[in-house]
C-alpha cells in the first residue's frame, strides 16, 4: 500500500477503473441471464433451486420508451425445485 498522496491517488484511480470494468461485465452477464431465463423460467440453477427474476422498473408512471437503459433493476431470488412441482 502506498503511503504518499500521489501513490494513494494513483491506486484509487486504478481501483476505480477496475471496479468500473467489473461492474460493466456483471451488468452484461445479467442481461444475458435475464434473456436466458425468459426462454426457460423453470431452468434449474443447481440440483435444488430455480431462479425467479422480477423486473423492478423505476419510473412506473413513465413510458418505457423514454426511460434510460439502466432503469431496469432486477430482483433475483432462488426457489426450491420441490416447491415448483
Q: 53 is in which domain, residue-wise?
A: 41-85
Question: Residue 12: which of 23, 22, 1 has the closest Cα?
Answer: 1
pLDDT confidence bin for 72, thresholds 50/70/90: low
- Asked which of 4-8, 12-16, 40-44 is least confident by mean pLDDT, the reply is 40-44
Report how far residue 21's alpha carbon sits from residue 27's, in angstroms, rounded to the nearest whole number: 10
* Residues 46 and 85 placed together within one structural domain of the fold: yes
Counting the structural domains of the chain, the total is 2
What pTM value is reported for the model? Answer: 0.70
C-alpha cell at 57: 422498473
pLDDT confidence bin for 67, thresholds 50/70/90: low
* Residues 47 and 32 placed together within one structural domain of the fold: no
* Residues 29 and 52 placed together within one structural domain of the fold: no
Query: Residue 22: its pLDDT value, please?
Result: 94
Amino acid at each position: 500500500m502506498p503511503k504518499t498522496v500521489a501513490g494513494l491517488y494513483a491506486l484509487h484511480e486504478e481501483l476505480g477503473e477496475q471496479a468500473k470494468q467489473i461492474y460493466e461485465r456483471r451488468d452484461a452477464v445479467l442481461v444475458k441471464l435475464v434473456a436466458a431465463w425468459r426462454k426457460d423460467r423453470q431452468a434449474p440453477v443447481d440440483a435444488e433451486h430455480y431462479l425467479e427474476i422480477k423486473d423492478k422498473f423505476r419510473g412506473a408512471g413513465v413510458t418505457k420508451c423514454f426511460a434510460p437503459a439502466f432503469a431496469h433493476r432486477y430482483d433475483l431470488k432462488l426457489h426450491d425445485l420441490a416447491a415448483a412441482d
